[in-house]
């Protein structure tokens, strides 16, 4: 569904993305992991067209996305830090997004119910806590029943109950045959979610493996341990501080 | 596009600054007209207030508003919307609300006290200045990522257009005092929308006699039909060029 070919992006001296190529298909749940500043969010933003790559290209359903905008109809995006116009209430933000998307078919309001956001519809966005904002972002990402879900650190800041219902929702959507892209630092959380791991470091795609292959290769059952063992194998000269990741 | 303009305008109206600006203009214009016994003298005083305040408020408010909507813009960009639509809607929303604020604040008192061609010119020029400085503000915001730098640039631009430019013109006049500078002065005045607006209104007010020979040349040029068309086209160019350039920049900007 999404194919990235040799995507490179430079911010000043920093190479945020260095020749990244990958393919993402329907029904997959892909975890993008890597240390802070490894280019995960930049890669996601490239897919969304928020960052324009210096070279290389990304196709969505076999169409180059450069300077196109219609394709975003099929993407639900939950940003890392969801910030909304301060003066609007939750209800107004939801209505505005419905108005902009102008979707004819039924809306998916499961998460609005699960997070009981209807009780907060009159709250202004600036009065919301970080966690509640995350709930609004998550609800918005799933609201229009998109074919692709892109979630940037979805559970950061959510309480355990909300995180659990979000996880259930992600699994349910994956079962429906949607493509889900997640970045996260909480590896234990990804254990029962993901089917494939993409590991990035300093803008490079270090490895790209299905979770079964990863478990098989490392002999570890837990994702965090498997990653740790791969990382020590991949980069033997990392300092101990970096290895701790 | 209409939808986003609607959201931008409602958001700006909820922000009380525009309301305060309207009330300030109302208070200023009514008091100026009440103080002067002759309403065309009042218009002249109001002109000076407008030429300082309107560009200042438009450029600063628009700059800060665009920076504060960075997240909102980011949210919209991730939606199935054209970038150009987002940018032009933001511009239209800002320009409309500031123009309405100007029209209510200064336009209505002018219409009450001085509902003639001079009054109409003044309202038109004020609205054009509001839009021009929103356009310039949007150019400044698209060029700089840093908020403090962007607002600084906006203030510098305002200083340049309302103070420095006049100094530069004076310098030019003194340096080339031995040459006939009257005709080139017309071209130079087109480089500053505030000057152009001032000339337009002063010529309507018939005080151009006080501006000496240059005033006479200006009257010859700007007093004619071609001159008025020229100045309005120039003012429109001051809107179109920054908006066009900023929209082009925004199209490839990384958010």
Pick from A67, A75, A84: CB nearest B71: A84
pTM, 2 dp: 0.86
Residue A59 DSSP SS3: strand
Task: Report the candidate in B100, B101, B96, B122 with the shortest Cα–Cα distance to residue B25.
Answer: B101
Residue A205 DSSP SS3: strand
Residue A203 DSSP SS3: coil
Task: Report the candidate in A83, A85, A92 with the shortest Cα–Cα distance to residue A121.
Answer: A92
A204 domain residue, yes or no: yes
Record: contact A85-B78, CB cut-off 8 A: no
Record: contact B11-A88, CB cut-off 8 A: yes
A122 domain residue, yes or no: no
- The residues in B 108-127 lying below 8 A from A, measured between CB atoms, are none
Pick from B11, B71, B78: CB nearest A48: B78
Pick from A69, A75, A96: CB nearest B7: A96
Q: How high is the pLDDT of residue B233?
A: 92
Q: Which of A41, A75, A86, A137 would best serve as a mutation to test chain B binding (most B beta carbons within 10 A)?
A: A86
Average pLDDT estimate for B50-71? 92
The average confidence (pLDDT) of chain B is: 89
A142 domain residue, yes or no: no
pLDDT of B199 > 70? The answer is yes
Record: contact B69-A85, CB cut-off 8 A: yes
Task: Report the candidate in B114, B78, B95, B96 with the shortest Cα–Cα distance to residue B201.
Answer: B114
A89 domain residue, yes or no: no
Which range of A103-107, A179-183, B75-79 scores highest in mean pLDDT? It is: A179-183
- Residue A228 neighbours by CB under 8 Å, 6+ apart: A243
| pLDDT 10s digits, B67-121 | 988 878 888 888 888 999 999 999 999 999 999 999 999 999 999 988 888 889 8
A207 domain residue, yes or no: yes
CATH number for the domain that contains residue A71: 3.40.50.300
- Residues of chain B in contact with residue A99, where contact means CB-CB under 8 angstroms, are 3
Is residue B38 very low, low, confident or very high in pLDDT (cuts 50, 70, 90)? confident
Record: contact B254-A67, CB cut-off 8 A: no
How many other β-carbons are positioned within 10 Å of the β-carbon of residue B16? 9
Average pLDDT estimate for B157-163? 92
Domain that holds residue A239: 2-80+148-243
Q: How many domains does chain A have?
A: 1
A131 domain residue, yes or no: no
Long-range contacts of B243-248 (CB under 8 A, 24+ apart): B243/B88, B243/B91, B243/B135, B243/B138, B243/B139, B245/B139, B246/B87, B246/B91, B246/B135, B246/B138, B246/B139, B246/B141, B246/B142, B247/B84, B247/B87, B247/B88
Query: CA of B72 to nearest chain A CA: how many angstroms apart?
Result: 6
Beta bridge partners of A210: A196
A233 domain residue, yes or no: yes
- Is A71 part of the contact surface with chain B (CB cutoff 8 Å)? yes
- Is B16 part of the contact surface with chain A (CB cutoff 8 Å)? no
Task: List, as one string, the DSSP characters of B145-159.
Answer: --HHHHHHHHHHHHH
Average pLDDT estimate for B24-53? 89
- Is A48 part of the contact surface with chain B (CB cutoff 8 Å)? yes
Alpha helices in A118-197 (DSSP H): 130-143, 160-175, 187-190
- Residue A93 neighbours by CB under 8 Å, 6+ apart: A84, A85, A125, A136, A140
Q: How many domains does chain B have?
A: 1
Domain that holds residue B230: 2-251
Beta bridge partners of A8: A55
């Amino acid at each position: 569904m999404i194919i990235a070919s040799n995507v490179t992006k430079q911010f000043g001296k920093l190479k945020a993305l260095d020749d990244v190529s990958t393919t993402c298909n329907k029904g997959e749940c892909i975890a993008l992991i890597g240390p802070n500043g490894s280019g995960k969010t930049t890669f996601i933003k490239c897919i969304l067209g928020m960052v324009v790559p210096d070279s290389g290209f990304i196709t969505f359903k076999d169409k180059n996305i450069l300077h196109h905008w219609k394709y975003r109809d099929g993407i639900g995006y939950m940003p890392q830090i969801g910030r909304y116009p301060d003066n609007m209430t939750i209800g107004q933000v939801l209505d505005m997004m419905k108005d902009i998307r102008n979707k004819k078919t039924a809306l998916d309001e499961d998460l609005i119910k699960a997070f009981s956001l209807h009780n907060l519809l009159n709250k202004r966005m600036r009065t919301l806590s970080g966690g509640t904002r995350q709930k609004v972002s998550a609800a918005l990402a799933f609201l229009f029943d998109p074919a692709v879900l892109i979630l940037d650190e979805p559970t950061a800041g959510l309480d355990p109950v909300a995180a659990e219902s979000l996880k259930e929702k992600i699994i349910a959507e994956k079962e429906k045959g949607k493509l889900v892209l997640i970045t996260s630092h909480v590896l234990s959380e990804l254990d029962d979610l993901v089917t494939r791991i993409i590991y990035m470091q300093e803008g490079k795609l270090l490895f790209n493996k299905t979770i079964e292959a990863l478990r098989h290769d490392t002999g570890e059952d837990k994702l965090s341990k498997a990653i740790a063992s791969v990382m020590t194998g991949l980069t033997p000269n990392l300092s101990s501080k970096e290895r701790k990741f | 596009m209409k939808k986003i303009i609607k959201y931008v305008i409602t958001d700006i109206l909820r922000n009380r600054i525009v309301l305060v600006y309207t009330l300030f203009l109302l208070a200023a214009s009514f008091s100026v007209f009440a103080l002067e016994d002759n309403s065309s003298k009042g218009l002249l005083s109001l002109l000076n207030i407008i030429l300082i305040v309107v560009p200042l408020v438009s450029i600063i408010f628009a700059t800060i508003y665009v920076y504060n909507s960075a997240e909102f813009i980011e949210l919209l960009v991730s939606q199935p919307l054209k970038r150009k639509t987002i940018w032009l809607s933001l511009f239209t929303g800002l320009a409309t609300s500031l123009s309405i604020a100007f029209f209510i604040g200064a336009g209505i008192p002018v219409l009450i006290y001085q509902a003639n061609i001079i009054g109409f010119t003044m309202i038109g020029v004020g609205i054009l200045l509001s839009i021009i400085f929103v356009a310039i503000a949007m150019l400044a915001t698209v060029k700089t990522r840093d908020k403090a730098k962007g607002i600084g640039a906006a203030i510098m631009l305002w200083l340049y257009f309302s103070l420095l430019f006049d100094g530069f013109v004076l310098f030019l006049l003194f340096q080339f005092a031995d040459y006939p500078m009257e005709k080139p002065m017309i071209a130079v005045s087109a480089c500053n929308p505030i000057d152009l607006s001032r000339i337009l209104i002063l010529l309507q007010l018939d005080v151009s006699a006080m501006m000496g020979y240059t005033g006479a040349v200006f009257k010859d040029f700007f007093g004619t039909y071609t001159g008025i068309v020229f100045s309005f086209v120039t003012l429109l160019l001051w809107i179109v060029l920054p908006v066009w350039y900023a929209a082009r920049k925004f199209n490839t900007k990384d958010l």
